[in-house]
Amino acid sequence: MNIVDAGRRDLLRASGLGLAMGLGGVAPSLAANAATGALFNVRDYGATGDGKTLDTAAINRAIDAAAAAGGGTVLVPSGDYLCFSLHLKSRVHLVLAQGSAIIAADSPLPGQATGYRGGRYDDAESNGVFDPYQDYGHNHWHNSLMWGENLHDISITGPGLIWGRGLSHGREIMTLGIAFKAEQPGVANKAIALKNCRNVWLADFSILKGGHFGLLLTGVDNLTIDNLKIDTDRDGMDIDCCKNVRVSNCSVNSPWDDGICPKSSYALGYPRVTENLTITNCHVTGCWDLGTMLDGSFKRLTDPVAARLTGRIKCGTESNGGFKNITISNCVFDGCQGLALESVDGAQLEDVTVSNITMRDVSSCPLFIRLGARLRGPKDSTKVGALRRVSIDNLVAHNSTALFSSIISGIAAQPIEDLHLSNIFIDHQGGAGPDRATIKMVDKDDDYPEPRNFGPTPSHGFFLRHIRNLQMSHVEVRPAAPDARVAFHLEDVTRADFFAVTAPAPAFALHRVKDLRVLWSRATPDVTLVAADGRTL
């Protein structure tokens, strides 16, 4: 499918749950609002929906009218609405009806002041002295297709489409052959951005090509994200410094960046924890051609080398405020990187439960858990954080790459603590030779935390370093082809229990390990060791 072929716009319509249409093609609940005068149809405010006329001003007038009335529902009926920045308002419910598409108009090209028909997006606001502590995109919200700041009680729902056609996405391979530079005034790089908001509901719509972020949500509390489909060229959704969040029933295809990405940056000007977050019943992937998840054709990337096959769920990398009380359950990873939990900017990552996860064709490692010391934040207050009390249960990974095992690594001065892994089955491609078995992995405490930055691992199941109190039970690692590496590489690990573990022999390489027990396992006979260094089991 050619996603920019206007003649095939039916393929750009995401098939959502649909609205139970009633009065005039409006859902019955909206019809009730209409009877009380609380329904604001953007067509009544001058929007054309013809895909050629700029409808920015008309839709903003409808939103303003709803806000001025004390709140209401703004209806975007079927049609293509070309827009620059739309300004969300408190107590306004934006409904994207079936067959509707809000399309990001073309941003200004480099050296130009305006874009399509003389329009432009709102300029990025200054974030002052906090700019250096996170990437450019995390520091600004106004340079977006839709944005709101200091709002409450807002919602965007309905089975329509948000198409970020004219947004910057920062990739060298440009879908339209046009490079919109995000840092240039008048250019937008986000589909929806919210800052310091509360009581937010986002449901049932689709995003195609969402720029650097399909959703950038910073300091947003009491947030519900349900049944979104995001098919994009960078991050699907970033949930940054947010509290009381529920993400459910979402599908995200993001080959070149992360799919669902909780963060805790310094963008608000102070460290704020992301906490009380649930991610459930979601599908993340990085293997489909852009647009083919939405149209249902699910075409594999024609040039996977050009893609990073990222598409994962990742807590981090920005981690100044920390992550607390997180559950991730009933999720599917397909053709992407695995689950990542990261604290590298001085925060605590603690009390995390992960359960019922399936992975297929993982492009790096199934699990990447990293406590590091990048420490991007104010130098006088940013110190090494902590990563502790993490439980992972019921995980199956099939056909992951053999280059990396799962990597769980703290730092020498601050180990990961209290990590429990159970009921895990990993089968990977295998086939590594003896040269891989002798690899010495450097700590790289201050590097960007990414499996590829560690390099190939000397183990094919788990690389475990700088950990205190590790429990692994009912874990099986099975290479498809014989692999010369051990399944479990332990380095600077204290108090480790392995129970009912299955892996090819030799299964364990032990370096500076204290208080180890291996029981009732097919990988090796029962053993209890007070200390071991340079030993293989």
Query: Tell me, what CATH number does 122's domain have?
Result: 2.160.20.10
- Pick the closest to residue 124 from 184, 207, 35, 61 (CA basis): 184
Question: What pLDDT sits at residue 22?
Answer: 32
- Listed in sequence order, the residues at least 6 apart from 308 whose beta carbon sits closer than 8 Å to its beta carbon are 255, 256, 257, 286, 363
Task: Let me know if residue 299 belongs to a domain.
Answer: yes
Question: What pLDDT sits at residue 128?
Answer: 85
Co-location of 142 and 101 in the same domain: yes
Co-location of 173 and 302 in the same domain: no
> What residue numbers bound the domain in which 350 lies?
228-401
Strands of 13-61, DSSP E: 39-41, 50-54
What residue has token string 């405020």? 321
Question: What pLDDT sits at residue 303?
Answer: 73
β-pair partners for 424: 395, 475
Structural domain count of the chain: 3
Question: What pLDDT sits at residue 20?
Answer: 32
Residue 534 vs residues 476, 492, 511, 531: alpha-carbon distances, Å: 23, 11, 5, 10
Question: What pLDDT sits at residue 175?
Answer: 45
Question: What pLDDT sits at residue 457?
Answer: 96
Task: Let me know if residue 532 belongs to a domain.
Answer: yes
Cα separation, 122 vs 458, in Å, equals 50
Question: What pLDDT sits at residue 302?
Answer: 81
DSSP 480: E
Question: What pLDDT sits at residue 171?
Answer: 60
Question: Do you find a cis peptide bond into 159, omega within 30 degrees of 0?
Answer: no
Strand pairing report for 416-430 and 486-502: unpaired
DSSP 124: P
Co-location of 313 and 248 in the same domain: yes
Cα separation, 136 vs 151, in Å, equals 23
Co-location of 98 and 180 in the same domain: yes
Cα separation, 253 vs 249, in Å, equals 14
Co-location of 214 and 239 in the same domain: no
Co-location of 493 and 396 in the same domain: no
Co-location of 397 and 526 in the same domain: no
Question: What pLDDT sits at residue 2?
Answer: 37
**For the purposes of burial, counting CB atoms within 10 Å of the CB of 368, is it exposed (0-12), middle (13-18) or buried (19 or more)?**
buried
Co-location of 184 and 244 in the same domain: no
- Listed in sequence order, the residues at least 6 apart from 457 whose beta carbon sits closer than 8 Å to its beta carbon are 365, 403, 404, 405, 407, 436, 439, 441, 463, 485, 489
Co-location of 62 and 204 in the same domain: yes
Task: Let me know if residue 375 belongs to a domain.
Answer: yes
| 356 Ramachandran zone, left/alpha/beta (phi>0; psi -120 to 50) | left
Local confidence pLDDT in tens for the 537 residues of the chain? 333 333 334 333 332 333 333 333 344 444 444 444 589 999 999 999 999 999 999 999 999 999 999 999 999 999 999 999 999 999 999 999 999 999 999 999 988 999 999 999 999 999 889 999 998 889 999 999 999 999 999 999 999 999 999 999 876 444 445 678 899 999 999 999 999 999 999 999 999 999 999 999 999 999 999 999 999 989 999 999 999 999 999 999 999 999 999 999 999 999 999 999 999 999 999 999 999 999 999 999 887 666 678 999 999 999 999 999 999 999 999 999 999 999 999 999 999 999 999 999 999 999 999 999 999 999 999 999 999 999 999 999 999 999 999 999 999 999 999 999 999 999 999 999 999 999 999 999 999 999 988 889 999 999 999 999 999 999 999 999 999 999 999 999 999 999 999 999 999 999 999 999 999 999 999 999 999 999 999
Cα separation, 454 vs 444, in Å, equals 7
Co-location of 238 and 341 in the same domain: yes
Co-location of 132 and 245 in the same domain: no
- Listed in sequence order, the residues at least 6 apart from 270 whose beta carbon sits closer than 8 Å to its beta carbon are none
Cα separation, 466 vs 59, in Å, equals 55
Strands of 85-171, DSSP E: 86-87, 92-96, 100-104, 146-149, 152-157, 161-163
